[in-house]
Chains A and B, each alone.
Chain A
Amino acid sequence: MTPISAENIVMNYGKVKALDAVSLKVEKGELFGLIGPDGAGKTSLIKILGTLLLANSGTAEIEGMDVVKQYQNIRRQIGYMPGKFSLYQDLTVEENLNFYASIFGTTLEENYDLIKDIYKQIEPFKKRRAGKLSGGMKQKLALSCALIHKPKVLFLDEPTRGVDPVSRQDLWDMLQSLKKDNITILVSTAYMEEALLCDRISLMDHGKILATNSPDGLIANFDKPLYAIRSGNSFNIIKKLKAYKHANSVYPFGDWVHYTDKRDTIDPLEIKTYLENNDTPNVEIKQIKASVEDCYMSLTSKNQNYEPA
C-alpha cells in the first residue's frame, strides 16, 4: 500500500491558486522533501494530506484511505508537526507527552523505544514548562509528541524554519534515525540544501510541482555546463558577469558566483579574459556540479520578475 498518494489536487484561496493540479506518490519508509519558498503551496498540501483542509478538487489517500471519507482512521495513523509550535506552553514536557499519549489511547512507556533517542535529550527537563524551553528543545518535544502513538506516516511542516544551523542539523539527524523504524516522512523546507538529506524531493513553486526526483537524479538533469567563478569582490564580479553578452544566469553562492552561458560550449578562458579586461583581476574559474538550488533557480527563472496580474 502506498503511504501517501495524491492526484490532481487543486486548492484555491479566492483568486489565488495555492495548489494547481498537484500529484504525488511517496513510498514506504521514504524521507520525502517538499522544497520551495513561502507561497509555493507546501503547507496547503501537507494540511490536505493530513486531513486538516479540504481540497477544491482532486483525490488523496494515506495508507490506502481516502483523506475525505476516512479522515478519522487516517488521523490515528499519522503524526503531524505544524510549522508553528502548537503544544501547551503551560504544561510541562512530561505533561504534554502524557496528554498526547492519552489522546491516542497509549502511554509514554508503551512507545518509549520509538522516541527515546529524541526524548532522552530533553528528559532532564521533563518538569519544565514547554513555554520555557529553548527553540531546539521545543522542537524535540514537538517531534516526540508527534511520534508518541507510533504513526505510520509523519508530516513535518517547515521544522527548520527560523532555526539556527546547529539545531537544524540535529533535526535532520533525528529524521534520519527514524528511517530505521520504517516511518514514512513528508517534510517541507525552504532551505534548498536540505533537499540533499531527503531520499526524494519535489520542487514546488506557485502551487505547482516543477520536478520530482532523487537529489542526485535532479542534479544529473541540469542541462547546461555550470561554472563557479570568483575574484575577491563578489558584487563587482556579479555586475560584470551580468553585463557580459553571453551570460545566461549569474547567481552568487557564498563567495563564488555560479554562471551559465547562452552558448552550448564555451571556453572558460574567454570569460576569464573578459573579466580581467574589465577591472576584475585574479579570476578563478572552474566547472562544477549543480546544487539543488541551481536546479531550482533554473526551473523557476521565468518567474523571477514579478508581473502584476
Chain B
Amino acid sequence: MSQPEKTYSISVENLTKKFDDFVAVDKITFNVQKGEIFGFLGANGAGKTTAMRMLIGVLEPTSGKGQVAGYDIFKNSRKLKKHIGYMSQKFSLYDDLTAKENMRFFGGIYGLTNKEISSRTKELLTHFGMEHIEKERVSSLPLGWKQKLAFCTALMHKPDVVFLDEPTSGVDPSIRRQFWEMIYETAEGGVTVLVTTHNMDEAEYCHRISMMVAGKMITVDTPQNLKDKYKLETMGEVFLHLARGYEKEHAITAS
C-alpha cells in the first residue's frame, strides 16, 4: 500500500469516539503542520486524553477520519506507532535503570541497532546538555530532570510527531522552562509537537492552541489571535472565558 500524502503532520476530520451512549470526542476537526507546536487545551474530562489516544493509535475511533505522520489512524495504527513519540502523563521511565540504560531500553523497543542506540543517546544527551546525568539512576533525579529524560527517550527513534501529555505538571519553574526550550529546539528541527497542559503560561508558548469543552473542539487559533479576539490579556483569561461561556451557552451541568 502506498503511503498517503504528507501535507500535514496531523490531519483530523470529524473524529468521534463514543463509549456506549457517551460521546467522549465529538466530531473534532483540525490540522497540524510539520514543525508546529500545537497546544491541546481543555477542562478535565473534556476529551483530550481520549482524542490523544486515538491519534497515537491505541484507541480505535468510532467514526471520522484521521492521519498522523502520513498514516491512517484506522488502517495503519501499527505503522503509525513507529513514527511517533509519546510521553505519558504518568512518569514512564524505569527508576532502577540509569538515564543511559533507559534510553537504550526504549531505543531497543523501537528496533534501533546497538550502533544507532549509542550514537542517538550521545547525540540527544549532548544536544540537551544532559551528559552528566547519563550514569545516574533515574530514581535519584528530580522530577524535572526525569521529564527531560523521558522527552529524550520519546525522541530516540527520530519520530515525525511527538505527543506530550502534561509533561511539566509539578516541575520546578526554571526546569520547566528548560523543558520548553527543548520543545522549541525539537520543533525547529522539523518535529511536530502536540502538548497538553493546564498551565496557561505554557499555552502562550505554543504556535497554535486548540480548546476542547465537553468533547467538542470549540476553537483552534494562535494565542495572540485569541487574546485579540476576546480583548483579553492572557491565555488564562481566554481559557476561563471560553470554558465558562461555552458551559453557560449550552447549559452544561457538571457531569
Contacts and interface: CB of A to CB of B under 8 A. Distances in A.
Interface of A: 37-39, 121-122, 124, 134-137, 158, 161-169, 190-193, 205, 234-235, 238, 251-255, 293, 296-297, 300-301, 303-304, 306-309
Interface string B187-223: 0100000000011110011000000000000000001
A292 to B, nearest CB: 10
A254 B170 contact: no
A105 B223 CA distance: 52
Contact of B142 (A39, A165, A235): A39
Nearest to B171: A37
The 4 residue pairs across chains A and B that have the minimum distance between CB atoms:
A254-B204, A135-B44, A37-B172, A38-B170
B133 A165 contact: no
Contact of A165 (B143, B170, B177, B198): B198
A19 to B, nearest CB: 16
Contacts of A39: 142-143
A307 B255 CA distance: 47
14 contacts: A137-B254, A162-B44, A164-B42, A165-B198, A166-B43, A168-B198, A190-B171, A234-B205, A254-B204, A293-B173, A301-B174, A304-B175, A306-B133, A308-B133
B169 interface: yes
A86 B235 CA distance: 32
Nearest to A234: B205
B3 interface: no
Nearest to B147: A38
Contacts of B45: 134-135
A296 B173 contact: yes
A303 B223 CA distance: 32
A304 B239 CA distance: 30
A309 B204 contact: no
A255 B173 contact: no
A251 B172 CA distance: 13
B144 interface: yes
Interface of B: 42-46, 89, 132-133, 135-136, 140-145, 166, 169-175, 177-178, 180-181, 184-185, 188, 198-201, 204-205, 223-224, 234-236, 239-240, 243-244, 253-255
Given A306-B133, A308-B135, 8 more contacts: A37-B144, A121-B254, A134-B255, A137-B254, A162-B44, A164-B43, A252-B180, A254-B204
B170 A309 contact: no
Nearest to B134: A308
B236 A165 contact: yes
Contacts of A254: 201, 204-205, 234-235
A296 B170 CA distance: 14
Nearest to A190: B170
Nearest to B178: A304
A222 to B, nearest CB: 14
Contact of B240 (A158, A169, A190, A253): A169
